[in-house]
Structure 1
Amino acid sequence: MPGTTLPPVPHYEPPSVTKEDVDWAEFPLIDLSKAKTPEGRAELAPVVRDAMRTHGFLYVVNHGLTQAQTDRYFDIADMPFAQVPEEEKKQLAGKIVENGSYRGYKARRLWTIDNGVRDEIEHYNLHRPIFQQQHPKALQPFLPELRSLTEHNHYNVLFPILRMLALGLELPEETFVNLHRFEDEGETYLRYMKYFPYQTETDEARVKNVWLKGHTDIGSITILWSQPVTALQIMSPDGKWRYVKHIPNGLVVNAGDSMEMLSGGFYKATIHRVVQPPTDQRGRTRLGMFYFAIPSDDVKLVPLAESPVLQRVGITRKCADEDAPTAREWRMARTRAYGLSELQRRDDVVEEQVLNGVVLKHYN
């Protein structure tokens, strides 16, 4: 963190971990400290490759921040919600429909979840340079720390993972890194996100206890800083929903649409959702801290066909190469449409929509 004297911040006290017996998802855990050397990356690359090919999810530990540093970042994460007046939030609302951008606030009850019920999710999105957008007054003393956090996410977590994913495709290590340069035009975000319980049991029943329906992420890699509220589920390879465990001072990393398209379907965009927490955590809010990495705006989302691996196993395309969107086009289309546009129901589970010629699925 920058400096030695940090401004005081109100402490956010998370709930205790659940003691209930739930069906946990099982996927690999890697020690990211090993990825500092070429030999370490070569050792971890097959594990990362297989995890992202099979599950699309990965646990990460030893990412470079202490528990105390992570706790402080979660304290700061609560400030955009607990310390900012509603009028100021409205003034800093993201231009979601106008610009296809989440920069700023996304208010509660913007999205439709199911059966006419609106979401209870609020988030605040900080564009990765941090200093290029207006922020709430309460957050301004912490901007140098938040810039440090985005750089840590980008250079010390995202880049090592991208290097190992490139090795998994037998491509040069910097292949994906070069598509995600920190200084390029793009919309990679640090996001603080707070889930509130539905206001009535009737709403909870109408959405079948789903707080955010099954979906894939827009970008290439999502980094979730693990928190103790048990609500995140992934669709396992056998088609069953299973809960993601809390790893103290750990990360949960998953692949998104852009990575699936760039890898020709080799790496899977993970289907995941958020549901009502177990009984012993019910009624508590769920505070999340994320880093959503999206390729640079001008990157065309076509398979990296030069990969020897793809040449052996084949390429699965979502659309013809000539019709493939750029990262900017895909990000804007998905941002404008999510929770705001009509979906076509295909069966009891799957709903679909077509964006930029690509079929996008949602899962109830």
Structure 2
Amino acid sequence: MPSLFYPPIPHYRPAPMTAEALEYAELPIIDLSKATTLEGRLELAVHVRQAMVDHGFFYAINHGYSKEQMDRVLDIADVPFTQVSNEEKEKYMASSKITGSWQGYKPRQYWHIANGVHDQIENYNMNRDVYKRQHPEALRPLLSELQEFTQHTHMNVVHKILRILALGLEVPEETFVDMHTWSNDRVHGETFLRFMKYYPRSEEDEEKSGQVWMKGHTDFGTVTVLYSQPVAALQILTQDRSWKWLKHIENALIINAGDSMEFLSGGLYRATIHRVIQPPKDQRQYSRLGIFYFSLADDDVKLAPLTESPILQRVGIKRRFEDSKAPTSAEWRKARTAAYGQSDLKESETEKGVEQEVILDGVVVKHYK
């Protein structure tokens, strides 16, 4: 647990919840406190498997950090944006197009959205081993707290979910855990923590971009953990092809599968399209600060379906690659990272409002306007 003696930093005050009546997605709520026993994990596996088939998203509660602890993490999350000068930020910019890694800052106006409009989103990313590289001076006294937080998220949240997902495929419950190691005794990949701040945009940019802040997309990793925050902006594309808002649940997690998990699960656990749009009117004056944990399989893991799964043998496997040509986790991550928001997108000839980019071996990645 984090120390009771914290270095003093400014307190971040989140926005109040919206009072507007929004059309929310009805997502299941999973109680992670039940995942401490095999019996509990087997029970949860049935519900999580159905959630992944139906939605690709679910909420998780009782994740092990109290509201007071998460308030402290939120205070820390704002430090890279408010306590670091622009000159110092330049020293820690991520060279994503070259390295295929997000570690460091992504500046505002890096991603193209639409009609000449670029994003107003700043983020700071760090490897799950926060000591792997240098950080701005304001973050250095906070690294021990951040390391405790990433280790907790990895071991007590992600690993629990990975065991549940494995049981849902009826394979040994350590199958996915063994692909997401924590220790440094092998290549452990690019699982990373992201602090992300969305700033309000001009009305002109909102009109030109159709109020879209991030186009509809899938994540490229296995499991994404989003610590729920009050500014409404995240939407998912449901199976009936309508966009539904995700509701804020205090101190809950929002969990979704990414491309890599869809590949490994033979399409059963689907990577759901999601986007970020302009918040409702009563929240538009606020910035939106988010905490994300993007889980990626270890770099050398081949993203081929688990054909030994009895479930997949019964329902069939949906492939995006031939098994022999399936990329490693590192290959897929580098290709998606380098291309995102920077590549030339082509209008789909068959789907209205969809743009496409080709990543590896002719695999098409879709972006929804």
Tell me the TM-score normalized by structure 2: 0.97
Question: C-alpha separation between the residues in 2 aligned to 1:7 and 1:352?
Answer: 46
Question: C-alpha separation between the residues in 2 aligned to 1:362 and 1:279?
Answer: 26
Task: Work out whether residues 3 and 145 of structure 2, in 8 Å CA contact, stay in contact via their aligned partners in 1.
Answer: no
Q: Which residue identity is paired with 2:236?
A: I
Question: C-alpha separation between the residues in 2 aligned to 1:124 and 1:333?
Answer: 20
Match of 1:351 among 348, 352, 355: 355
Match of 1:123 in 2: 123
Secondary structure (helix, strand or coil) at the match of 1:174 reads coil
Deviation at 1:174, TM superposition (A): 0.3
Task: Work out whether residues 107 and 121 of structure 2, in 8 Å CA contact, stay in contact via their aligned partners in 1.
Answer: yes
Match of 2:106 in 1: 106
Match of 1:20 in 2: 20
Deviation at 1:99, TM superposition (A): 0.4
Task: Work out whether residues 180 and 188 of structure 2, in 8 Å CA contact, stay in contact via their aligned partners in 1.
Answer: no
- Tell whether 2:299 aligns with 1:294: no
**Once structures 1 and 2 are overlaid, which stretch shifts more, 2-11 or 131-140?**
2-11
Question: C-alpha separation between the residues in 1 aligned to 2:211 and 2:254?
Answer: 23
Secondary structure (helix, strand or coil) at the match of 2:35 reads helix
Match of 1:197 in 2: 200
Match of 1:232 among 219, 234, 240: 234
Q: Which residue identity is paired with 1:191?
A: R
Secondary structure (helix, strand or coil) at the match of 2:52 reads helix
Deviation at 1:6, TM superposition (A): 1.4
Secondary structure (helix, strand or coil) at the match of 1:222 reads strand
Match of 1:307 among 297, 306, 309: 309
Match of 2:331 in 1: 329
Secondary structure (helix, strand or coil) at the match of 1:190 reads strand
Secondary structure (helix, strand or coil) at the match of 2:357 reads strand
Match of 2:151 in 1: 151
Aligned residues: CA RMSD? 0.8
1:53-85 CA-partner distances (Å, limit 9, x unpaired)? 110001011101110000000010000001100
Question: C-alpha separation between the residues in 2 aligned to 1:37 and 1:237?
Answer: 33
Question: C-alpha separation between the residues in 1 aligned to 2:22 and 2:87?
Answer: 40
**Once structures 1 and 2 are overlaid, which stretch shifts more, 257-266 or 341-350?**
341-350
**After the TM superposition, which residues 53-132 of structure 1 pair with which residues of structure 2 at under 5 Å, given as runs?**
53-132=53-132
Deviation at 1:197, TM superposition (A): 1.4
Question: C-alpha separation between the residues in 2 aligned to 1:57 and 1:336?
Answer: 25
Match of 1:187 in 2: 190
Question: C-alpha separation between the residues in 2 aligned to 1:273 and 1:113?
Answer: 12
Secondary structure (helix, strand or coil) at the match of 2:232 reads coil
- Tell whether 2:363 aligns with 1:361: no
Task: Work out whether residues 219 and 259 of structure 2, in 8 Å CA contact, stay in contact via their aligned partners in 1.
Answer: yes
Q: Which runs of 5+ in 2 are unaligned?
A: none
Match of 2:40 in 1: 40
CA, structure 1 residues 201+2, in 2 after alignment: closer, same or farther (shift >3 Å)? closer
Secondary structure (helix, strand or coil) at the match of 1:131 reads helix
Tell me the TM-score normalized by structure 1: 0.98
Q: Which residue identity is paired with 2:49?
A: R
1:303-342 CA-partner distances (Å, limit 9, x unpaired)? 0001011111110000111221110000000000000000
Secondary structure (helix, strand or coil) at the match of 1:79 reads helix
- Tell whether 2:15 aligns with 1:11: no
Question: C-alpha separation between the residues in 1 aligned to 2:15 and 2:176?
Answer: 37
Deviation at 1:348, TM superposition (A): 2.7
1:99-120 CA-partner distances (Å, limit 9, x unpaired)? 0110000000011011111111
Question: C-alpha separation between the residues in 1 aligned to 2:234 and 2:8?
Answer: 31
Secondary structure (helix, strand or coil) at the match of 1:146 reads helix
Q: Which runs of 5+ in 1 are unaligned?
A: none
Secondary structure (helix, strand or coil) at the match of 1:268 reads coil
Match of 2:141 in 1: 141
Deviation at 1:2, TM superposition (A): 3.8
**Once structures 1 and 2 are overlaid, which stretch shifts more, 220-229 or 178-187?**
178-187
Query: How many residue pairs are counted as aligned between the two chains?
Result: 363
Question: C-alpha separation between the residues in 2 aligned to 1:362 and 1:96?
Answer: 19
Question: C-alpha separation between the residues in 2 aligned to 1:251 and 1:137?
Answer: 29
Secondary structure (helix, strand or coil) at the match of 2:132 reads coil
Question: C-alpha separation between the residues in 2 aligned to 1:345 and 1:95?
Answer: 28
Secondary structure (helix, strand or coil) at the match of 2:140 reads helix
Question: C-alpha separation between the residues in 2 aligned to 1:4 and 1:50?
Answer: 40
Question: C-alpha separation between the residues in 2 aligned to 1:160 and 1:36?
Answer: 8
Deviation at 1:227, TM superposition (A): 0.2
Deviation at 1:3, TM superposition (A): 3.2
Q: Which residue identity is paired with 2:38?
A: P
Question: C-alpha separation between the residues in 1 aligned to 2:31 and 2:81?
Answer: 33
1:18-64 CA-partner distances (Å, limit 9, x unpaired)? 00001000010011011011111111110011001110001011101
Question: C-alpha separation between the residues in 2 aligned to 1:333 and 1:122?
Answer: 21
